[in-house]
Amino acid sequence: MTPNTTTNKYIYTKIVSEMASIFCCFRGCASFLDLGFATPAVPIKKQPLIALDQQQIGQEVVLVKDGSRICGTGGALGNSAIMQDKAYFEVRLQQSGIWGIGLGSEKADLNTVPMGSDADSWVLCSDGYLRHNKEEMHHIAQLPQEGDTIGVSYNHIELNFYLNGQKLDCPFTNVRGQVYPAIYVDDGAVLDVVFDNFVHDPPPGFDKIMLEQSLLET
């Protein structure tokens, strides 16, 4: 091999190496500067959560903690109707006062306390009465206290309540139509609504409320 051939081979190898380095550098810069060479990141769609609905509350109701805590005066509905066969949720009594827990339709009066004064709400009230359409349907002897957890189950036949995991055996059997979780507060009551990660296991066959398909597609 002649000296000229060796020199030419060295120059060619050097040029190829330099071009490769320049290309790698350019590709890295292009990725950093988003010049079209990098694969665009695919946005992750955030899953909607079950919570109390800011659009379905009384005029003097305050919702905090992403719609999981209610205070003020009046009622609120959940942001998803109960469509599944067997649904369960819980409410934790953070601060006592006047309150009620149960189900209501979109027509329920959310500005009147107590709820259960119309044909569109079915609630267990803080005084132990179960009220619907101005009627007192049942009364429980053991009243919930601060720190207690009240469970609610609904299977489109019975609406049942549980106190710290124990069934109260005083069901509503006249719930009709499309209904939502319903909560009302007054006189300083503060309630936390829990739609997942329950303190107590749901009754057999019951599960957390599932979102309507229409909400999942938005």
Prediction pTM value: 0.77
Phi, psi of 16, rounded to the nearest 5 degrees? -60, -40
Q: Name the architecture of domain 52-208.
A: Sandwich (2.60)
Peptide bond before 181: cis, by omega within 30 degrees of 0?
A: no
Instruction: Name the residue with tokens 């101005």.
Output: 134
Contacts of 195 (CB under 8 A, 6+ apart): 49, 50, 51, 68, 78, 89, 181, 208, 209
Rounded to whole angstroms, how far apart are CA atoms 85 and 180?
14
Q: How do the pLDDT tens digits run along the chain, 218 residues long?
A: 555 555 555 555 555 455 544 444 444 444 434 445 455 565 555 567 999 999 999 999 999 999 999 999 999 999 999 999 999 999 999 999 999 999 999 999 999 999 999 999 999 999 999 999 999 999 999 999 999 999 999 999 999 999 999 999 999 999 999 999 999 999 999 999 999 999 999 999 999 999 876 444 54
Angle at 52 between CA 153 and CA 171, to 5 degrees: 20
DSSP 118: S
Angle at 47 between CA 214 and CA 108, to 5 degrees: 50
Per-residue pLDDT at 42: 58
Per-residue pLDDT at 47: 64
Compute how many other C-beta atoms are within 10 angstroms of the C-beta atom of residue 157. 12
Domain limits, the chain:
52-208
User: In Å, how far from its chain's centre is CA 186?
Assistant: 23
